[in-house]
Chains A and B, each alone.
Chain A
Amino acid sequence: MSRMKLNLGPQHPSTHGVLRLILDVDGEKILGCEPVIGYLHRGMEKMAEGMTYLQYLPTVDRVDYLSGFFNSYAYVAAVEKLLGIQIPQKAAIIRVMLMELNRIASHLLWLGTYLLDLGAVSPFFYTFRERELILNFFEKISGQRMMYNYFIFGGVRSEIDCLEEVEPICKTVLAKLEDYEKILTENPIFISRTKNLGIMDRETAFAYSITGPNLRASNSHLDFRKLSDLYKDFEFKIAKAEDGDCFARYKVRLDEIRESVKIVLQAVEKLKVAGGNINTGLKPLNLKIDTGEAIADVETPRGLTSCCVKADGSDKPYRVKWRTGSFYAVQILPKLLTGHMISDVMAIYGSLDVMLPEVDR
């Protein structure tokens, strides 16, 4: 018997971050797995206790650097709940539009890097090319490509003056999605590497608190966007697949890009006629918040992100707690990997779209 322990990571190129997996292997077969997290811990929660509400806002984008708008939204919405302010309608639409564009960018990056893990190099360049269009748009409106700091308490920072660029971006993304489907959906190599692999049924997914596309690939309808007030004026379908394997997760993410494009186009139409302020003009510099606690949820590309802010009357938060989707996706790894081969580890792990900075905060 050639049973041994194998360390995969922390410096493994396919983990897209620093994750260590202690694999218990018998030859090529995996008998057990223990994920070790914490290599990317930056103390985002403790850091908040020493900063004012305003100072903490730019650092929030770094919780998950591929979907900065979502994290910003979760924190900003929690503080707005504490303050009891309503944001203007126009700001809400802008937020939805940017978050959905961000979701498209995040899923495109996932698709490219996942295929890179599986050994296909070309699609990586194609998805990054389309993602670049979206990031350039973000750079134009906010000033940076990934760390936007664009949402403020009570709205958004500035008007969007290049709204006409959004529709061409959406059209390009939709057109190129066809290309990706041509390359992948019927590709026998891709199918044999992803079908019937890492199957997660609905009950297991719920038991492990999996949310987001990973859960919806396991035959569930749960999408927190349908429950939130922010999205109640937008029409979209819930992308869903039934098999719960890696291929189903791929299908769900591709379908989600299509649904996001629909939401973005609706938001653009709304913004064209929307008037009024884009923020409430709140002066956040020496913002003091009365004792209280508020939680805001948002459906990110990687599941449910909640931000809980507890205030104690001073200008600094008493406690900030993050709940992120990727953390739970890592915990299910031992269950999914056991019984598979070493070469399937990255195919399964990659399909979960785990973002390590989000796991450790």
Chain B
Amino acid sequence: MKLLKFLKGIILPLLTVLKHLFKPAVTLQYPEEKPILPEKFRGCHTLENCIGCGVCVQSCPCQAISIKKDGNKVVSYKIDLGRCMFCGNCEYYCPVSAIKMGKDFELAKENRSDLIIELIDESQSEGRADN
């Protein structure tokens, strides 16, 4: 009786494990296959129509954002991706939804200085100053 119980305890797990041999694989073959990212995914930032209010700078927990203004015009908007923890505070508290978290997540760089990215496009900010 004891032996029977012992054998059952050995064979049942093995059968359960064996069953999985015939099931489809669930692993994502990452560099070849890209993951499907959800709508709210928090990746690298994009910026459009920034008014330079500085809410993102105040809400950022790791001082990753720095803004330079010339009068009312934003001339430089830098994010240090090496500092950023992708918490999404800047996106959530932006009053005009200017800063958005995109879907780019492969952000490895060779130099630390390359991690500081500039989000203001010169031509774009020129056009915005007219309004």
A-to-B contact residues, CB < 8 Å: 51-52, 54-59, 122, 126, 129, 132, 136, 139-144, 147, 149, 157-158, 179, 182-184, 186-189, 191, 285-286
Asked whether, in the complex, the Cβ of B12 is within 8 Å of the Cβ of A186, the reply is yes
Asked whether, in the complex, the Cβ of A285 is within 8 Å of the Cβ of B93, the reply is yes
Q: Is B98 an interface residue (CB 8 A)?
A: no
B-to-A contact residues, CB < 8 Å: 5-6, 8-10, 12-13, 16-17, 20, 26, 38-42, 55, 58-61, 85-89, 92-93, 101
Q: A residues within 8 A CB of B38?
A: 136, 139-140, 143
Known: A139-B41, A186-B5. Contact between A58 and B13, CB under 8 A? Answer: no
Q: State which of B8, B61, B101 has its C-beta within 8 Å of the C-beta of A59.
A: B61
Asked whether, in the complex, the Cβ of A147 is within 8 Å of the Cβ of B16, the reply is no
Helix, strand, loop or mixed for chain A's interface? helix
Kindly state the separation between the CA atoms of A122 and B23 in the bound complex, as whole angstroms.
Answer: 14
21 A-B residue pairings within 8 Å (CB atoms)? A51-B61, A52-B58, A54-B93, A55-B61, A58-B89, A59-B85, A122-B20, A139-B40, A141-B40, A142-B40, A143-B38, A143-B40, A157-B92, A182-B16, A186-B5, A187-B13, A188-B6, A188-B10, A285-B59, A285-B93, A286-B58
Kindly state the separation between the CA atoms of A57 and B61 in the bound complex, as whole angstroms.
Answer: 8
Can you name the residue of chain A whose Cβ is closest to the Cβ of B13? A183
Kindly state the separation between the CA atoms of A263 and B26 in the bound complex, as whole angstroms.
Answer: 28
Q: State which of B61, B86, B101 has its C-beta within 8 Å of the C-beta of A56.
A: B61
Asked whether, in the complex, the Cβ of A143 is within 8 Å of the Cβ of B42, the reply is yes
Can you name the residue of chain A whose Cβ is closest to the Cβ of B7? A188
Kindly state the separation between the CA atoms of A158 and B26 in the bound complex, as whole angstroms.
Answer: 30
Asked whether, in the complex, the Cβ of A147 is within 8 Å of the Cβ of B12, the reply is no
Report the minimum CB–CB distance from B18 to chain A (whole Å): 10
Kindly state the separation between the CA atoms of A352 and B97 in the bound complex, as whole angstroms.
Answer: 45
Kindly state the separation between the CA atoms of A136 and B39 in the bound complex, as whole angstroms.
Answer: 12
Q: State which of B41, B58, B85, B86 has its C-beta within 8 Å of the C-beta of A285.
A: B58
Can you name the residue of chain A whose Cβ is closest to the Cβ of B10? A188
Most buried by A among B16, B20, B93: B16
List the 3 closest pairs (A to B, CB-CB), nearest first.
A58-B87, A143-B40, A143-B42
Q: State which of B40, B41, B60 has its C-beta within 8 Å of the C-beta of A55.
A: B60
Kindly state the separation between the CA atoms of A183 and B20 in the bound complex, as whole angstroms.
Answer: 12
